[in-house]
Amino acid sequence: MRRQFALAAVLFAAVSGGVAALAGAPSPSPLPTVRPEITAWVSPTDPPSPTASPAPTAPLRVDGAFSLPGGIWACETMGNSPATSVYKLVNSTTILERTMLQLPKRPAAKLESVFRYNPKSASWTVSVQSGLFSGTAPVWSGTTWAFDGLYVAGGELRPVRLVYTSLGDGAMRIDYETNRAGFWRTFSGATCSRRMP
């Protein structure tokens, strides 16, 4: 349970301090090393390199999710920490996201998310850090793409939303939200812009 909460702190609390308040416990210090299966880059100071992705099949191109792969997304979190993200189209229904988050006075955190499209239901699922957050969303057909899901905090499942908002011209906002008194409020997030190699 302690390891699970520590990973949650790396993912959310480190960027804004929000999850520590959400989970009702202070962020652990020092942060543990990230699990080996998500440390695919040569050096923690090198950003992930973009990789050519296969083109999605024609019926899926109206989905804004397929505009994520290509280039490197440079982000700044609510806590003013820099991050870089690369989205790779693994096949016509799967997008892999790898993010490296630079934390002040702490080692860089490497995060991984897997997005899977289900053509039968015309919906997406996402798993962040092997299930730390899991959610579902319809296709990204408008300005926002919202995943309703559950986040693991202190051994408990809590309702959380992951919301992507297109800001136009190669920019987007990513927010994690929790419901408080009937309103969804951001507790962690980042603003990102695409940089082409």
What is the per-residue pLDDT for 82? 96
pTM, entire model: 0.71
Asked if the model's pLDDT at residue 61 lies above 60, the reply is: no
Q: Which CATH number fits domain 2-34+59-195: 2.40.340.10, 2.40.128.20, 3.40.50.2300, 2.60.40.1240?
A: 2.40.128.20
Name which of 33-42, 83-92, 149-158, 183-192 the model is least confident about: 33-42
pLDDT tens digits along 85-104: 999 999 999 999 999 999 88
Q: Are the C-beta atoms of residues 44 and 113 closer than 8 Å to each other? A: no
Token pair of 71 as six digits: 């280039």
Q: In what helix (H) or strand (E) does residue 6 lie, and over which residues does it extend?
A: helix 2-8
List, as own/partner pairs, every contact residues 131-134 make where C-beta atoms lie below 8 angstroms and the sequence separation is at least 24, other chains included.
Answer: 132/4, 132/7, 132/8, 132/11, 133/11, 133/160, 133/162, 133/176
